[in-house]
């Protein structure tokens, strides 16, 4: 029997009540989940972070090899600077929608999985169901990597992993790779009344940002993979900082930027191309004034692309459970690529619309959660011995 809506909403309210912004600990949420599972006779293993402030959770219901993993991340993005109509860490229902930080991305899925535990326990399973909860997915997914490294050794290796990111319960068989970089410009300070005596690091950074935009447009004109929206690799600058005062020519400026590349796209040359542009068009003039002037780019993090192979077990299972006759790709990253690399056939399918994620007044529609519960009910029926 499908879990009741009241049980689901109660669980989601508890999960939303934990402020698990990536910069904070998730241990209180993990302790709640572990106690909940213990109450249903399900033991779990924790995989703590190096500093002990966070942890992943892995639990198994049923016996035998293989099985289906249900994976969700516990962290959420900040609410800083956002204006909410209701408290972001208090679940609020309005017009068939449940509001709160993480309701869509992706505590709604975790709540559905937890609400279905009594169902999973009530039947004899021919292969196990694994519950996987990670941390720090929102900051390039470092949290799940130590857990995945133990899969197949002291943790069971699922045959299939379903990552419940918000897809409106559509079946996603691919997503882009993300590479994040930090570029630092070092110029020379001077009084702003005599700018020629200095090297304005912010002005140089602006030219580098313009070159990134130019390269992005060039790449977009060459690629057209309609499986994704947008149908090309993209590049964007997300953060910039520099300068000390309006009357000082700024010595330093740094900006963070990213590439979201199509699976298989050959754009690893972009940082080198940016360096070549700086060496050719910027640094000679900079170093005439300041011999120590520099433009340096460092790689900060990377999340692999995900591209399910033909006849993927995970994709075929998700299509059978949803009744879908087609798949799609997405431009946001998930942990699917990491699980696929570890030998677990993976697919992305979960409740909620990604357009609602990360926004003020984030919500998940109750109808989406009900669809996810039915998905899990049908999965249980398929795994029944």
> In which residue are the tokens 């213990």 written?
38
Instruction: Give the full edge-to-edge strand order of the sheet including 177-186.
Output: 234-242, 252-261, 177-186, 294-303
Whether 38 is a known active-site residue: answer no
C-alpha 170/C-alpha 79 separation (Å) is 27
Q: Which pLDDT tens digit goes with each residue over 144-191?
A: 999 999 999 999 999 999 999 999 999 999 999 999 999 999 999 999
How confident is the model at residue 329, as a pLDDT? 96
Look at the domain 177-303 and name its fold: Alpha-Beta Plaits (3.30.70)
pLDDT band at 240 (very low <50, low <70, confident <90, very high): very high
Residue tagged active-site, from 75, 165, 173, 340: 75
**Residue 2 pLDDT > 70, yes or no?**
no
Tell me the domain boundaries of the chain: 5-174+305-383, 177-303
pLDDT value at residue 372: 97
The whole-model pTM stands at 0.92
Average pLDDT for 250-269: 94
Calculate mean pLDDT across residues 267-280: 95
Short-list 208, 15, 188, 226, CA closest to 112: 15
What pLDDT is stored for residue 354 in this prediction?
95
Q: What is the mean pLDDT of residues 348-362?
A: 96
Q: For position 318, what pLDDT does the model report?
A: 98
Would residue 75 show up in a list of annotated catalytic residues for this protein?
yes
Report pLDDT digits (tens) over 27-46. Answer: 999 999 999 999 999 999 99
Q: Do the beta carbons of residue 66 and residue 125 sit within 8 Å? A: no
* Domain 5-174+305-383 is found in CATH 3.40.50.720: no
pLDDT of residue 230: 94
Mean pLDDT over 215-235 rounds to 95
Average pLDDT value over all residues in the chain: 96
Catalytic pick among 19, 105, 137, 335: 137
3 state SS for 137-163: HHHCCCCHHHHHHHECCCECCCCEEEE
pLDDT digits (tens, 9 = 90+) for 100-125: 999 999 999 999 999 999 999 999 99
């Amino acid at each position: 029997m499908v879990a009741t809506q009241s049980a689901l909403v109660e669980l989601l309210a508890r999960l939303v009540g934990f402020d698990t912004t990536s910069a904070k600990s998730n241990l209180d949420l993990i302790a709640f989940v572990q106690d909940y599972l213990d109450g249903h006779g399900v033991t779990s293993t924790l995989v703590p972070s190096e500093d002990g402030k966070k942890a992943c959770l892995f639990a198994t219901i049923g016996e035998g090899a293989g099985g289906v993993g249900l994976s969700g991340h516990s962290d959420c993005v900040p609410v800083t600077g956002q204006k909410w109509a209701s408290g972001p860490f208090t679940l609020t229902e309005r017009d068939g929608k449940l509001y709160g930080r993480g309701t869509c991305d992706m505590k709604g899925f975790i709540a559905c999985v937890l609400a279905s535990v009594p169902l999973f326990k009530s039947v004899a399973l021919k292969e196990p169901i694994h519950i996987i909860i990670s941390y720090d997915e929102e900051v390039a997914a470092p949290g799940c990597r130590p857990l995945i490294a133990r899969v197949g050794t002291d943790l069971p290796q699922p045959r299939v992993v379903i990552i419940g990111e918000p897809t409106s319960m559509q079946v996603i068989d691919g997503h882009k790779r993300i590479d994040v970089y930090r570029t630092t410009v070092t110029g020379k300070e001077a009084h702003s009344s005599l700018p020629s005596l200095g090297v304005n690091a912010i002005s140089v950074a602006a030219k580098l940002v313009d070159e990134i935009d130019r390269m992005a447009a060039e790449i977009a004109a060459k690629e057209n993979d309609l499986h994704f929206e947008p149908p090309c690799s993209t590049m964007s600058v997300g953060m910039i900082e520099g300068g000390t005062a309006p009357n000082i020519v700024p010595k330093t400026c740094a900006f963070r930027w990213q590439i979201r590349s199509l699976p298989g796209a050959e754009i690893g040359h972009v940082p080198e191309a940016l360096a070549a542009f700086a060496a050719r068009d910027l640094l000679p003039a900079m170093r005439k004034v300041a011999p120590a002037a520099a433009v340096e780019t460092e790689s900060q993090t990377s999340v692999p692309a995900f591209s399910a192979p033909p006849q993927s077990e995970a994709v075929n299972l998700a299509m059978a459970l949803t009744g879908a006759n087609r798949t799609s790709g997405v431009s946001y990253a998930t942990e699917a690529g990491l699980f696929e690399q570890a030998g677990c056939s993976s697919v992305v399918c979960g409740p909620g619309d990604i357009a609602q994620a990360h926004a003020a007044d984030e919500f998940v529609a109750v109808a989406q959660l009900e669809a996810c519960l039915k998905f899990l009910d049908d999965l249980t029926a398929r795994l029944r011995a």
